[in-house]
Structure 1
Amino acid sequence: MYIWNIKGLVQALKEGNLSNKSKRFYKVIGIFLFALALLAYPVFFVTEQFNTLDIVDMFSYLVINLVGIYMAYTINQRGDGKEFWFRYFSLYVPLAIRFIVLLSVIMIVGYTVLSLIDPSISLDETNWFDLITSIGTEIYINILMFRYIKIINR
């Protein structure tokens, strides 16, 4: 299992060295994490008050990820064109973990600094910092996905 070692996972995917148990793990966990990320926004809107930036965030999330999936698919088709969804969900597992860690660090550091600069900043409502962080990290994770799918197809 390659949970954090994404380069090892990429090499195993490239060489086709994953066991059936590992393949099942990556499929199930990858689909679960992807579905969880996809369903998070509708649940958020039902349970919380939201503002205009929340709506912008939701639409940017959907657009960035739909375009990202399409581009990853196109990159995979330019290579050998095989097993796109398996590769995507397999790579999604370590990338989602990295996303969570990266986003947590950025938010902790960002809100620590922002609260020193502007003590009135609200943690209850989405602000520009949240929106920029969300969009930036989504783009970064998609770029990593493209990069690793290209490496698998070499």
Structure 2
Amino acid sequence: MKTYMPKPEEVEAKWYIVDATDKTLGRLATEIARVLRGKHKPTFTPNIDTGDFVIVINAEKVRLTGKKLDQKMMYKHSGYPGGLKSIDYRTLLDTKPERVIFHAVKGMIPHNRLGRKIMTKLRVYRGAEHPHQAQQPETLEVNA
């Protein structure tokens, strides 16, 4: 008996749409990362991108529990001395809510070439409108 190993050209990616309204950020991000990575498929292979595309709508309506809105910070560094910048999640949700979900999912994906390729399959939008109607996305139910 031989083990089936999918080849990258044999993998067919589907499109899923997720509504982030009143979903907890971490629980939502784990489900999105699982679908992006392809772990929900029986043909999952760790070294091949077998995942699907995910569209997230209503990113500004995602929920953070506890005091995370004021205490949790997102950091980035310019690479120069003294170049550390930080912003709290309340401000980030008001200005760029897409970045909150993208950053949470990115931390759950492998940090290598494959992970960078997988992250190109994630599309996050602030409101309910998205330009991917032609792909006929299926609704993905997330219990968060």
TM-score (norm 1): 0.24
**Could you say which structure has the larger radius of gyration?**
1
**Larger helix proportion, structure 1 or 2?**
1
Q: Does 1 or 2 have the higher relative contact order (CA < 8 Å, sep 6+)?
A: 1
TM-score (norm 2): 0.26
